[in-house]
Amino acid sequence: MSTRRHAAPDGLERFLSADQRASIRAPISEARTLPRTAFTAQDFFDLEVERIFRRNWMALCFADALPNRGDVVPLELFGMPLLALRGDDAQVRVFHNVCPYDGCLVSLDPQERARELVVPYHGWRYDLRGKLRAIPYWDGNETPDLRSLGGRDGDLAPVRSATQLGIVFINLDGNAGTIDAYLAPLRNLLSDLRLDELVAVEDDDGKLLREGRTIRANWKTYLENAAINILHEAFTHGLYGRSVEVPRVRDGTKTHFAHLDGVLMGLGYEEKDVLQTYPPIPLPHIGRDPARPPQKGYFLTLYPNLVVPVMNAALRTNICLPQSPGLTRILHCGWFHPDALADPQFETLRTSLRDTFHEAYREDGRVIEAVQRGRRSPVSGQHFYAPFWDEQHHHFNNLILDDLEASRAE
């Protein structure tokens, strides 16, 4: 459970009463979850956007969606038009997709290998690093000097961003700590893996990487299931239901462990305990030591919106993008050892693994949406935890409350 304490909740009382907050902070055996309005109300969602998603680092998209210099991807996040752009220096940058002069979107559609950006309304031109380069006929001349703007800033407004692990992360308010500090819990846990050497392998011709899939549920409902809830496996998934190793308990003792480290949480397991559930994938493993395959696997959540299933020979990253209180978009990408792609079995094994995950997505999606529908019922209030299974869920809700209670001055 979180131990952080904050100043006055800055208006949070109208969303969560003092008693509700105390029940969330209570020890897990007595604690309650967030109330139903946290999953259904637009004003609560707006508060989360302001206090969680604007203030923290969050995953936005995959860098492989912009493979070439000059590739441009317009995006919309929380109703804001954004623009991801791979510059002439190969660096991915994110900007607000708005021209300072006329308020028009700078780019309406994705572009490949563009040499510049041309605003469709009045023709202002930008280079591939967001710098204004031309303002045709601004002062009546065909090619005015930029000094004719009289000191006005015509460059695109940048969004603080960083690309690591093949993912473009952003910090909307610009005040979060360093990206390295944010990712440290994940990198520390997976330090024996070749995280920065893995190769992205897209599913469905890149559709899941670029466009993703939608779930008719709140983002928290998705994350509760994706890498936090453990007990559901045997009841929701055919694969787990057939396994003698699931539920992950033997004679009352866990055959799994909870990993909790600040913004990183999830389920961990020893490879030796799940060989009948996850048979070895005969491809080069992703460990740093060629002679020693990874001995542990994980289903992880990096708060607030990244899910990372980790296996012996593959890793997946799932980006959770909240759209509204009841709608979430998920982007997916798989990652393998560079040598795996040359293996003659690769395509067959990759396809089998992809199909397994897609079936799990379908099964999870059905119950996630069922939980979301249940939260619209007047009898759905603050639910409770199974202390044996739900450490991660309890931790997750406390991270959310930490951010909601944080004052703007922090």
| Predicted local confidence at residue 189, as pLDDT | 97
Q: What is the DSSP letter of 109?
A: S
Same domain? For 306 and 208 the reply is yes
Decide: 68 and 86 in contact? Cβ < 8 Å.
yes
If you average pLDDT over residues 378-397, what whole number do you get?
A: 95
> What residues contact 115, with CB distance under 8 A and at least 6 apart?
70, 128
Decide: 22 and 12 in contact? Cβ < 8 Å.
no
C-alpha–C-alpha distance, residues 141 and 85, integer Å: 30
Same domain? For 248 and 105 the reply is no
For the chain, the C-alpha Rg in angstroms (whole number) is 23
Same domain? For 303 and 250 the reply is yes
| Predicted local confidence at residue 275, as pLDDT | 86
Decide: 388 and 382 in contact? Cβ < 8 Å.
no
Decide: 2 and 402 in contact? Cβ < 8 Å.
yes
Range(s) of the domain holding residue 70: 60-162
Residue 103's CATH number = 2.102.10.10
Q: Give how many domains the chain has, as a whole number.
A: 2
If you average pLDDT over residues 240-268, what whole number do you get?
A: 93
| Predicted local confidence at residue 9, as pLDDT | 57
Tokens of 188: 């520390």
State the average pLDDT for the chain. 93
Write out pLDDT tens, residues 157-204.
Answer: 999 999 999 999 999 999 999 999 999 999 999 999 999 999 999 877
| Predicted local confidence at residue 61, as pLDDT | 97
Go through the chain and tell me how many residues it has: 410
The whole-angstrom distance between residue 209's C-alpha and the CA centroid of its chain comes to 12
| Predicted local confidence at residue 408, as pLDDT | 54
Same domain? For 278 and 391 the reply is yes
Decide: 330 and 203 in contact? Cβ < 8 Å.
no
Same domain? For 229 and 300 the reply is yes
Write out pLDDT tens, residues 210-243.
Answer: 999 999 999 999 999 987 899 999 899 998 888 9
Same domain? For 111 and 207 the reply is no
